[in-house]
Chain A
Amino acid sequence: MEVTGQGGAPLDVARIKKDFPILDRRVHGKRLVYLDSAASSQKPLSVLEAMTRYYETTHANVHRGVYQIAQEATELYEQARAKMAAFIGASGPDEVVFTKNATEAVNLVAYSWGRANLGPDDALVTTEIEHHANFVPWLQLRQERGTDVRVLRLQPDGFLDLSHAEELLQGAKLLAVTAASNVLGTLPPVRRLADIAHAAGALVLVDGAQYVPHLPTDVGELGADFLAFTGHKMLGPTGIGGLWARRELLESMPPFLTGGEMIRDVRLDGFLANDVPWKFEAGTPPIAEAVGLAAAVDYLSALGMPAVRAHEEALTSYAMSALHERYGEHLVIHGPLPAHRRAGIVSFAYKDVHAHDMSQVLDQAGICVRAGHHCAKPLMRCLGVGATARASFSVYNDEADVDALVDAIGQADTLFG
C-alpha cells in the first residue's frame, strides 16, 4: 500500500504513469491518452493491489465477528475512515460517513437534515453551475415540501454572479454550492460565500467531488458544514464516497437509510440508532472499496496535494495556451480564463463541430474526452449550448497528452471543415 513519497516535490509524471496499468493500453493502435478524469479517474496499482490483498487475506464482514480476520477487516475499514478524515482536515474519523458516492452524500443531507429542517416557509440557495447531484435533490425537496430554492446565477465570464448573494441568502437555511464546476472548472469563492451564509444563519454544503481529488482540502478553511466527496474521481474505486459533517450536526440528524449496522437496539416497538457515523451506514458497507480509497489517499498524500495542484494548474495553463496558439478564434474555451482560477478542466468548442463528433474524432487518435451536457443542464442552458467537449487532467497527465489533444482536434477539419 505504501507509495514512496516525493513529499511535495514537483510531480515526476513519467514515473507516475508507470503506476497506472491502464495507461499501457493501446486504443485503435494508439497510445491511450486519458483526459476524462473529471468523469472518473484511473487507478494506481497500489489501489488495485490493496483491494486484491484485502480479499485474498482479510475479507470478513465488519463490526460483527469476534474472530481474527473480522477484527482485521473492521480495523482496515475504520483506518480508511481515519485517513479520509485527515485528508480533508476533519477533527476526527467519526465525522466521516461512507456512502456509495457524492450523489448519495448530498441525498443523505437532503433527506435527513433537509426533511427535518426545511418546510414550505424555508429557503435554500444553490447555484446555476451545480452538477445534477447537488441540484436535483433540492428540486425534489421543493416538490415535496414547497421549500423555496434560490439560484445564484452564472456570469458570462464563467464566474458566479455574487452581487445578490447576501440578498438571496437572507433567511435561507442552507447554501449548497460546488467547490469546483465539473464543466467549466470554475472555483467559486466558497469561503466568502460560506461567511455570507453563516452570517445569515444558513448551513453550508460543499460539493467537493471535483475539488477533493485535485486541491488541498480543509473543511475548516472552506467554511463547510457538510462536504460531499466521491472515491472514484480521486484515484480510488467506484462504489465509495462520503459525507463529512461536524459531529454535533451529524448527531442532531435523524437516520437516512435504515436497517442493519445503523442500530444499537431494536425492539418490537422501536429502535435506538447507533452512534455517528455508523448511524448513517445502514447495511454491509463497501469494505474493499474503503481499503482501496485509503490506498488512493496514501498515493495522493505521498505526492502531496500542493504539488498535485501545482502540476494540474500548470498543465491547464499549458493546455489553454496551446489550444489558443494553434486554433486562435476557431476554438472557444468555456469558463474562466486564468488557469489559477479553475480546476484542471477545459471545456471547448472547435468551429461548429459538435462535441460528439469531436469526441469521435479524438477517440480515433486514442484520446478520451467527454462529450455531452456533463449532468449540468441548467449550466448548459446558460451557456446556450447542448453539449461541450471536455478535457480534464489528473496526476498522470503531461504535456505530451495535451499535445496529442491539440494535434488531433484539427483532424476534424477533414470531415467537417
Chain B
Amino acid sequence: MKAQEKKFSKYHYLYTRKIKRDKAITVILQVFILVLFLGLWELLAYLNVIDSFVTSCPSKIVKTIGVLITENNLFYHMGITLYETIMGFLIAVFLGYVIALILWWSERARKVLEPYIVVLNSLPKIALGPIIIVWFGSGSKAIIFMAILIGIIVAIITMLNGFLATDKEKILLLKSMGANKFQILSKLVVPGSFPTFISMLKISVGMAWIGSIMGEYLVSRAGLGYLIVYGGQVFKLDLVMAATVVLCMLATVMYLIVAMLEKCIIKYKN
C-alpha cells in the first residue's frame, strides 16, 4: 500500500535487480531452446539428414498453416474443436460441482455411490467409444459427450475432497451458533473450497482437450483432431504437425484464460 513512498537502501535495489536479471535469463533461455530446436530441425531437414516427408519441418508447417487458412477453412475446424472442448469443459465442471455438492450433503449417497465412482474413474473412457457413436451419431454431440465423460469424474472427486476437507472445528463453531446444514454449506464449505475449485478448473481444461481430441479421433468429420487423423491416414505429416501446432496454441490460450480468471477473482476478493 505504502510501498511506493518508502525509501529503499541500495541493497534493496541490488536485490530487486538480481531478481529481475534471473527472470530475464530464464526467458532468454526459454526462447533460446525453442529457436535452437526449430533451427536444428529446419537445418537437418534442409541438409536431408532427416527425411522431411516423415518428420516435416518448421517452414513446411508454417506454409501448411497458411494453406489451411486460405483453402481448407482452418478457422472452421478450430471453431468446431473449440466449441466441443468448451462445451465439454463447462458441462463437466458444472455437473461435477453439483454432484460433488450432493455427495457432500448426503453421507448415505456418498457411501452408496462410492464403488460406482471408483469403477468409472478407473475405466478407460475410450472403451465406451462405440457405444457413444451408436447413441449420439458421429457429430459434435458424441464428442462433447466424450469430453464430459472424461472430465466429470475427476471434477467430482477433486471437488468432493475439497468439500470434505473443511475444518471440523469451524463446522462445530457454526453449529454452536445454531447454523443449519445449508448455512454451513454456503458460509463455510463453498467459500472455503474455492482454491480447490480453481485447481479443478485447471485440471478440467486439460481433461476437456483430451476428451474432445480423443472423440474426434474416434468419430467426426471436422475439427483439429479430425485434421490430425486425416493427415496421418493420407501420410501428410505436414498437415499432422500443422494441426498439432495450432492445437498447442489453442490449449495454451485456454489455460492462460483460466489462470487469468484465477488472478482476477483473487484480486477482486482482496
| Pairing of A with B | no
Residues of B with Cβ closer than 8 Å to A? none
